[in-house]
Amino acid sequence: MGYRVWYSTESLADYIIDNTSLVLEQNIEKKKMYESDANNANNFHSLPDHIKNILYLDAPDLIVEKDLEPIFSIEISTEAGTGHNVFQRFPRLAASVENNVPAFYIYPDAVIIHRTESTLWDKLNPLIFKALAKAMDIYQIPALLYYFPTDLENYSNNPEDSPNLNTKGLKFDSNIIRYSGCPDSNSSEMINMFDSMNAILSEVTRHGVIDSRNRAIRCQEIVDRIDLMQQLYHARAGTRTWSPLTSIIQVPTSKVINYLSQFHSQTYSIGDLLNSRSETIIYKVNANFRGDPYPGALAAIDYLKSRQGKSFEERYYNLVLAWGEVSETDDSLEINPGNNSGINSFCSQVASSESRSNILQKTFTELSNHEISRYYMQVRYGSMFSKVKHIRVYSYFADAILFHDGALWRDG
């Protein structure tokens, strides 16, 4: 079969192929990757299962595979990484490492923003390094961040003089036609990233894909990057509490159980999972019910504060998502719905996804030709890929989701 590169943007595929040892391969194929059944009903079902397995939360920008086995994935962003923003893509990284596939994250250390009174660098939230470190510690699979090159080093004190001010200080590759939107390939960060990718590809040649993924965490280039990421975290983090951890509280699980009791009958008992952990982490979102940046922040909180092992069942604490202002009473919780988000905000979006994407109610004669294989995919996976991204992520990571007028929870 040889090498295959799955991409969302072909320019990134060319960029990675041309700048790594993949350029030497004679038999390499590029294939378009589709994000989900929810947003690309005509094509998503045609993706092979081993690619779908990495897309169950969200789709990375690129996946490199050999002989139907993924080697590594890549996610790239040019956004400012302050607050919750840097975690917006975190579920894509988590899905990759949870499937034992190394993940590369390209993100600027800072971008230039313009405010009324000044022009300044908006810098990366360093907590992303700690979240990636926790994922690597659990799975022993690389999850590495490399800086998208910028003018920060030379213009840290005078961003308005940046020669790339019109691109927020970002330095793009000079070959703007072939590598549109890609980072400057001559920057030290990208050269180091290519070296790490080549180290993994070299392991693939010697030991095969599966063994190479397990050995990658010990490659010298990757060990050096992990050490540097740790240094970068400690250099910037200090003693400050960083977002999204500023939006969590820890409460006795008994208060969560008591809160849930108002939404079920007295003859029903909450299952063993929630009751198995004495404490619960609650991520409070005081906003209208929606997606980004909250799904990624929830995933990051799991790794930063809750996750102990490879499954959500292996947690120190329950992880709960609450919409509204949460306060504790003597034995329960109260949620102020000042943002008007209620349980039907969740249910209506689930229903909307299902009505648009789920075709399992059709008879065979009602199916169009192009829907037959999609129907068969949904028979196997249900609506796993047919729901919108944030519903998938919330349902995957949260042990319970609380609203002022309802709640959803796991029993096991």
42 and 102, same domain (yes or no): yes
Query: What is the count of structural domains for the chain?
Result: 2
Q: Which residues span the domain enclosing 376?
A: 244-412
What is residue 353's predicted lDDT score, i.e. its pLDDT?
A: 80
Counting Cβ atoms within 10 Å, is residue 304 exposed (0-12), middle (13-18) or buried (19+)?
buried
192 and 259, same domain (yes or no): no
pLDDT for residue 284 is more than 90 = yes
What is residue 79's predicted lDDT score, i.e. its pLDDT?
A: 92
Please state, rounded to an integer, the average pLDDT across all residues of the chain: 93
Residues near 169 by beta carbon (within 8 Å), at least 6 away in sequence: 108, 110, 111, 112, 121, 150, 151, 152, 155, 159, 162
Please give the Cα distance from 22 to 209 (Å, whole number): 14
147 and 285, same domain (yes or no): no
Express each pLDDT in 201-243 by its tens digit: 999 999 999 999 999 999 999 999 999 999 999 999 999 999 9
302 and 188, same domain (yes or no): no
What is residue 381's predicted lDDT score, i.e. its pLDDT?
A: 84
164 and 18, same domain (yes or no): yes
Q: What single letter denotes the amino acid at residue 339?
A: N
- 90-98 vs 127-139: helix crossing angle, rounded to 10: 10
209 and 268, same domain (yes or no): no
What is residue 180's predicted lDDT score, i.e. its pLDDT?
A: 96
Do the beta carbons of residue 343 and residue 407 sit within 8 Å? yes
Task: Give the tokens for residue 326.
Answer: 């949460």
Which backbone phi and psi does 180 adopt, to 5 degrees?
Answer: -55, 125
What is residue 314's predicted lDDT score, i.e. its pLDDT?
A: 93
Interval 107-129 mean pLDDT:
93
78 and 160, same domain (yes or no): yes
> What proportion of the chain, given as a percentage, has pLDDT over 70?
100
231 and 248, same domain (yes or no): no
Interval 253-280 mean pLDDT:
94
Please state the pTM of the whole predicted model. 0.93
193 and 258, same domain (yes or no): no
Task: Give the tokens for residue 291.
Answer: 């997606």
Contacts for 37-40 with beta carbons within 8 Å, 24 or more apart? Answer: 37/357, 37/374, 37/377, 37/378, 37/385, 37/386, 38/353, 38/356, 38/357, 38/385, 38/386, 38/387, 38/388, 38/389, 39/388
For 110, the 3-state DSSP assignment is strand
Categorize the per-residue pLDDT at 185 as very low, low, confident or very high, splitting at 50, 70 and 90: very high
237, 262, 288 — which closes off a domain? 237
188, 208, 237 — which closes off a domain? 237
155 and 37, same domain (yes or no): yes
Express each pLDDT in 19-73 by its tens digit: 999 999 988 999 999 887 777 778 888 888 888 888 888 889 999 999 999 999 9
410 and 282, same domain (yes or no): yes
237, 253, 274 — which closes off a domain? 237
86 and 232, same domain (yes or no): yes
Between the alpha carbon of residue 82 and those of residues 109, 187, 225, 283, 293, the distances in Å are 10, 23, 22, 18, 11
